[in-house]
Structure 1
Amino acid sequence: MPGRIRDFGKYGAQGLKSSEAIAVQLDILAGGIASPVESDRGLAARLRYLTGSAGGYEALERAGISVSARTLLGWLAETQNPNRLNLERIDVAYWDYRRRNVAQDLKRRLNAGGGTRVELSPVNQSGVTPARQRDITHRSLNVRDWSEIVDCWAEDDMDGLEDEWCDWLMDIGTDWGEYHYVSAVGFSA
């Protein structure tokens, strides 16, 4: 039985872990503020979102932001600007809080109707010599319960997400290891 690939890309294949591709697709489904945190608009929108509830303040704390109320009010009033490190932390806090807020809705949507079909695109083998290329086709599988996957994603637990995803990936059969790395995954809710 194939396992997880240890030396991916050794012969020139290109792609990413399918669990990471799942996380990217969940990020896309979650949506969010498009303006970068460095812009006035992006910073103001993130701060409004984070300071609108106790959960947002908890996200700021988890991200390592510990400023005085006066400084935070200055940021909100746009009379003070956060330094680069705090800008990065505000962005981290925003996405952390956003993922947690949309997790329940995503689980409901992805689990509806018996689950969601996931399309797996094989790795790009254009850089692999023909003798080493493998015949890997597009595959799909139906994930019936997204609860654990979405929970790991919402907690930014990539190791847990990989474990949960690989449990579903094994449903493909004995060649599941060929899809541990992919060029893309596709699904929507």
Structure 2
Amino acid sequence: MPQHTGDFGAYGARGVKGSEAVARQLDTLAGGIATPVTTRRGLLARLHYLTRTEHARAAAREAGLTVTDRTLKAWLAGGRSPSRPNLERIETAYRAVRRHNVARYLLGRLNREGRGTRVELHPLNQSQVPRPRQRFVEFRTLNVRHWDAIVRAWTEGDLQALDDAWTDQIVDLGSQWGQYEYVTNVGFAA
């Protein structure tokens, strides 16, 4: 069985870790507020989402948004604007709460009662690799039936656990799984 790639990109190959591509796709599927947090509309939408319920408030505090109720009311009323670090905390808290809220729904859609979801693996870009060092890597598909560990790691924001869970799935490609540790894109729908 191949080992993990130790020195990716040494000869000019380009791509991202498969687990990062999976996290990006899960973020896309989770959807959310499209307006940036730097605009008034985007800020208000995120603040309303984070303060709507006690559960959302607790999750926002866990994610690092620790401001007083007075400050929060001033932001909502438009009397004050959050600083740049607070805008980043609001965005981080929003993403964390959104991931938590949609995780169960996504998990059900991806697992599809044990039938799983077809995943497309787009190979890494070798256009900058010298010809003798290029290897034959083709577009592959894989049916992932167990998304529990992947979605759990994504929800918690644990990149190492996500990478481990993704590696556990791609070993189903057989002896070629190491060629798909880095990819240009991973595509799937829920």
Same fold (TM over 0.5): yes
Q: Aligned with 2:48: secondary structure?
A: helix
Whole-Å Cα distance in 2 between the matches of residues 51 and 63 of structure 1?
13
Q: How far does residue 63 in structure 1 lie from its aligned partner after superposition?
A: 2.8
Amino acid at match of 2:156: E
| Match in the other structure for 1:121 | 122
- CA-based RMSD: 0.9
- Structure 2 unaligned blocks of 5 or more: none
Kept in 2: contact 1:59–1:94 (CA 8 A)? no
After TM superposition, the structure 1 = structure 2 runs for residues 135-146 of structure 1, keeping only pairs within 5 Å, are 135-146=136-147
Q: Share of identical aligned residues, percent?
A: 54
Give the whole-Å Cα distance in 2 for the aligned partners of 1:27 and 1:66. Answer: 24
CA drift of 1:66 comes to 2.0
Q: Contact (CA 8 Å) 1:5, 1:177: kept in 2 or not?
A: yes
Q: Which deviates further from its counterpart, 137-146 or 92-101?
A: 137-146
Secondary structure of 1:13's counterpart equals coil
User: For residue 56 of structure 1, what is the aligned residue in structure 2?
Assistant: 56
- The reply on whether 1:89 has 2:89 as its aligned counterpart is yes
Match of 2:162 in 1: 161
Q: Which moved more, 1:72-81 or 1:61-70?
A: 61-70
SS in 1 for 2:175: coil
Please tell me the residue identity of whatever aligns with 1:174. S
Distance 2:66 2:158 in 1: 24
Counting matched residue pairs gives 189
Which amino acid in 2 is paired with 1:115? G
Paired AA for residue 122 in structure 1: P
Q: Read off the aligned partner of 1:4 and give its amino acid letter.
A: H
Q: In 1, distance between residues paired with 2:52 and 2:124? A: 42
Classify the secondary structure of the residue corresponding to 2:119: strand
Superposed displacement of residue 28, structure 1: 0.5
- Normalised by the length of structure 2, the TM-score is 0.97
Whole-angstrom CA distance in 2 between matches of 1:20 and 1:6: 17
Give CA deviations for 1:69-119 in whole Å, capped at 9, x if unaligned. 111111111211111100000000000000000000000101115000101
Structure 2 residue aligned with 1:16: 16
SS at match of 1:173: helix
Farther-moved stretch of structure 1 (6-15 vs 59-68): 59-68
